[in-house]
Amino acid sequence: MSSEHRDRVPIDAQSVDAPLSRFAVFLVVSAAEGDDALATVREVVSGVDDLLKTVGFRDLGSHLSCVVGIGRRLWDRLVPGIRPVELEVFPTVRGDVHTAPSTPGDLLFHIRAERVDLCFELERLILDALGSAVRVEDETQGFRYFDVRDLLGFVDGTANPIGDELQASAIIGDDDPAFAGGSYVVVQKYVHDLPEWGSLTVEEQETVIGRTKLENIELDDSVENQKAHKTLTTINDDNGDELDILRDNMPFGTPGSGEMGTYFIGYSARLWVTMKMIDNMFIGDPPGFYDKILDVSRAATGGTFFVPSNGVLHGLDDPDALVESLRALREDASSDAPSPMGDDAGEESKGDGTLGIGSLRESTGRATETEGT
């Protein structure tokens, strides 16, 4: 193989496990009502590979990637009649002191590259193609900060799965065969009060985070009932096994504006795992003992999306055929093996959205009606 071919890298949408990048754009938009707008959204989303390749081939070494996530309301318009079992609208989570808001958004575009101009150009082409079919709800430009630290000064993403664990943690498998190869993604934009954080001693900051600031070494929780951030965001199943998600958080902001923070983005094969983390942070574990990082870091947005596999993404241009195919996959799997949720399990998940593991998702702080949607 010649060197020009040996150095090439794939340029595909839906690369959930793309390598950490120097720059990113997190773009959330809402789709307009009407058939014309829906047709435009369908065409652009199903063909986003073409836009990605148009920009990415200019510098293959910059590893441009784009992941498209689709919210529940838009999914039901694009693919009526069948949906991923856990896909839901992000619920408002109210604790005694802090609230994780639910904010509008039908589509998420997570654009990553080693060059900021490539991110800019792909975002521009996507928005030009969508035109009046969408309204921009949030646009955040992220950047790598020193040795993968957040603006609070701590290393971010230490607990990310690697190797075979990454696939199992971030990519849907046989639990939902119709949507295997996809992923759930949750985004939240956290705005930091850096002067308030800076008023704490390093030891106080380390107690909040649960790690040493310089060496990134885990610390034991040292205050009765009060768990550190790293402990509250560690989720175990009923057997005591840790369940991971894949984070690709990035700092954002400009000193002149005063708005600076961390854009949280977490991919998971099981949506409830990420939502349990958020419950623990805002409601507390035990309830009332919320994550003290929230005293200096305010959640400004909240959204949940489903990331279809590339095959399903391309299939959106023929929804009737796609629905038929997805239903056949689900029906075949149901007839071949008993459901892990029992004989009464249907297309949708159980009422608590937990795939039958309700004890891990119980919460008193969920709003029955989501806000801002």
Q: Which of 138, 150, 156, 244 does the annotation list as catalytic?
A: 156
User: Rounded CA gap, 244 and 234, in Å?
Assistant: 8
User: Rounded CA gap, 152 and 198, in Å?
Assistant: 8
Q: Would you call 298 helix, strand, or coil by DSSP? A: strand
By residue count, the chain amounts to: 373
Task: Convert the pLDDT of each residue in 79-110 to its tens digit.
Answer: 999 999 999 999 999 999 999 999 999 999 99
Q: Report the predicted TM-score, pTM, of the whole model to 2 decimal places.
A: 0.88
- Per-residue pLDDT band at 262 (split at 50, 70, 90): very high
- Per-residue pLDDT band at 13 (split at 50, 70, 90): confident
Is 156 annotated in the active site? yes
How large is the average pLDDT for residues 179-189?
A: 97
CA 61 to chain centre: 25
Please count the other Cβ atoms lying within 10 Å of the Cβ belonging to residue 50.
12
pLDDT at 373: 34
pLDDT at 367: 53
Task: Convert the pLDDT of each residue in 287-327 to its tens digit.
Answer: 999 999 999 999 999 999 999 999 999 999 999 999 999 99
Angle between helix axes 48-56 and 116-130 (nearest 10 degrees) is 150
pLDDT at 163: 86
User: Rounded CA gap, 207 and 10, in Å?
Assistant: 43
pLDDT at 61: 92
User: Is-contact 90 186, C-beta < 8 A?
Assistant: yes
